[in-house]
Amino acid sequence: MPDAATDDLKQLETDGLAELRACADEAALRAWNTKYFGDKGLMKGALSAIGKIAKDQRAAYGQEANRVKVALESAYTAALAEAKEKALQASLTANPLDVTLPGRIRPRGRLHPATQILRQVYAVFADLGFQVYRTREVETDEMNFEFLNMPAHHPARDMWDTFFTTTPGVILRTHTSPGQIHVMREVRPKPIRVILPGMCYRNEAISTRSEIQFHQVEGLAVGEGITMADLKGTITAFARRMFGPDRQVRIRSSYFPFTEPSIEVDIDWPKDDPNRDRLTKGTGWLEIMGAGMVHPNVLRAGGYDPATVTGFAFGMGPQRMLMLKHAIDDIRLFWQNDLRFLRQF
CA distance 119 to 66: 72
Measured from the CB atom, the residue of 74 and 207 that comes closer to ligand FA5 is 207
Max intra-chain CA distance, the chain: 120
* Helix (H) or strand (E) run with residue 202 in it: none
Measured from the CB atom, the residue of 113 and 317 that comes closer to ligand FA5 is 317
Q: Shortest approach of ligand FA5 to residue 106 CB, angstroms?
A: 35
Measured from the CB atom, the residue of 83 and 235 that comes closer to ligand FA5 is 235
Neighbours of 305 (CB within 10 A): 9
Bond into 318 cis (ω within 30): no
Q: Shortest approach of ligand FA5 to residue 309 CB, angstroms?
A: 16
Q: Which amino acid is at 259?
A: T
Residues that bind ligand FA5 (CB under 6 A): 175, 177, 202, 204, 210-211, 214, 216, 218, 256, 259, 262, 287-292, 313-317, 319-320, 331
Please list the alpha-helical segments (H only) found in 95-187: 113-127, 141-144, 178-186
Classify residue 210 as left (phi > 0), alpha (psi -120 to 50) or beta: beta
Measured from the CB atom, the residue of 9 and 333 that comes closer to ligand FA5 is 333
Neighbours of 194 (CB within 10 A): 21
Q: Shortest approach of ligand FA5 to residue 218 CB, angstroms?
A: 6
Neighbours of 145 (CB within 10 A): 24
CA distance 266 to 320: 10
Measured from the CB atom, the residue of 16 and 318 that comes closer to ligand FA5 is 318
CB 306 within 8 A of CB 224: no
Measured from the CB atom, the residue of 26 and 230 that comes closer to ligand FA5 is 230
Q: Shortest approach of ligand FA5 to residue 165 CB, angstroms?
A: 19
Measured from the CB atom, the residue of 82 and 161 that comes closer to ligand FA5 is 161
Phi and psi (nearest 5°) for 223? 180, -170
Q: Shortest approach of ligand FA5 to residue 295 CB, angstroms?
A: 9
Neighbours of 25 (CB within 10 A): 11
DSSP-assigned letter for residue 163? P
Neighbours of 57 (CB within 10 A): 15
Q: Which amino acid is at 258?
A: F
CB 315 within 8 A of CB 218: yes
Q: Shortest approach of ligand FA5 to residue 207 CB, angstroms?
A: 8
Measured from the CB atom, the residue of 19 and 260 that comes closer to ligand FA5 is 260
Q: Shortest approach of ligand FA5 to residue 92 CB, angstroms?
A: 60
CA distance 192 to 183: 8
Q: Shortest approach of ligand FA5 to residue 202 CB, angstroms?
A: 5
Measured from the CB atom, the residue of 16 and 290 that comes closer to ligand FA5 is 290
Q: Shortest approach of ligand FA5 to residue 108 CB, angstroms?
A: 29
The residues near 90 (Cβ < 8 Å, ≥ 6 apart) are: none
